[in-house]
Structure 1
Amino acid sequence: MTTFDYIILALKIIVGASILNVWLIQPKKSTKWRGGNADTIIEEFKTYGLTKNMCYVIGFLKVSLAILLLLSVKFPEFTLFASLGLAALLLGSIAMHLKIKDPLYKSFPAALFLVLNLIIAYTAY
């Protein structure tokens, strides 16, 4: 493996683990990145004008795609689907922050992980 391959491997692990952390370990934790003044993911979705059910759907998709991204370490055929799927959802996250006129810094994690997923996808293509 080349140094670049190791970098992509690290990016997959960082992105996948970070998304799992947000959705499975810290969904009820208040952070400075949450939309509006929300303290939990469900409150954040309500701030965006989305339902609790939509939160569960998006959460299921993000967790599933993050798991696929982690699995792509062993099964590279999952890479493109997982990284582009996450990129699309992260673009939606950025759009929601913009919709409610959040300060730009609140979009930073989504923007960063969008870029990382596009880099991962590019290398899989």
Structure 2
Amino acid sequence: MDYLTIALQLIVGLSILNVWLVNANKSTQWRGGSATNIKEEFEAYGLPGWSCYLIGFLKVALALALIAAIWFPKLLQPAAIGLGFLLTGSILMHFKINDPIKKSFPAFLFLCMCGYLAFLSQYF
């Protein structure tokens, strides 16, 4: 496994853990609508309250799997693809509520990294 792949796994995995476990109740410039925390963000998207917990669980589990894939490479592709689907959903939610494009940028950037990890990292 090369250093670029490991670096991207750590960047994506730790960033998602940071969003969902450390900064979940903090306001950031990337939150959807005028939300000041993750629960408000899901409300802004018109999603039911339980979906925040489900998506949070999935993102945290897949982020941990992405990091664990450094030692267990078979986890890499499923974790990256799973996160890719969830990140695509994040981007679509921003579009749904007509957020400025810049609010979708982190999800788009991480989606690109997950695409590399899932489909290209094995070739480089």
* Shorter-chain TM-score range: over 0.9
For residues 75-118 of structure 1, the C-alpha deviation after alignment (integer angstroms, 9 at most, x for no partner) is 00000000000000000000000000000000000000000000
- The 5 A counterparts of 1:57-76 are 57-76=54-73
Contact map agreement 1:80 1:124 (CA 8 A) in 2: no
- The 5 A counterparts of 1:73-84 are 73-84=70-81
* 1:103 corresponds to 2:100: yes
* 1:120 corresponds to 2:117: yes
For residues 47-86 of structure 1, the C-alpha deviation after alignment (integer angstroms, 9 at most, x for no partner) is 0000110000000000000000000000000000000000
Q: Which runs of 5+ in 1 are unaligned?
A: none
Partner of 2:17: 20
TM-score normalised per structure 1 = 0.95
Contact map agreement 1:83 1:121 (CA 8 A) in 2: yes
Between the aligned residues of both structures, percent identity stands at: 55
Give the SS at the match of 2:39.
helix
TM-score normalised per structure 2 = 0.96
Q: Which runs of 5+ in 2 are unaligned?
A: none
Give the SS at the match of 2:33.
coil
Give the SS at the match of 1:36.
coil
What is the rounded CA distance, in whole Å, between the counterparts of 1:49 and 1:103 in structure 2? 17
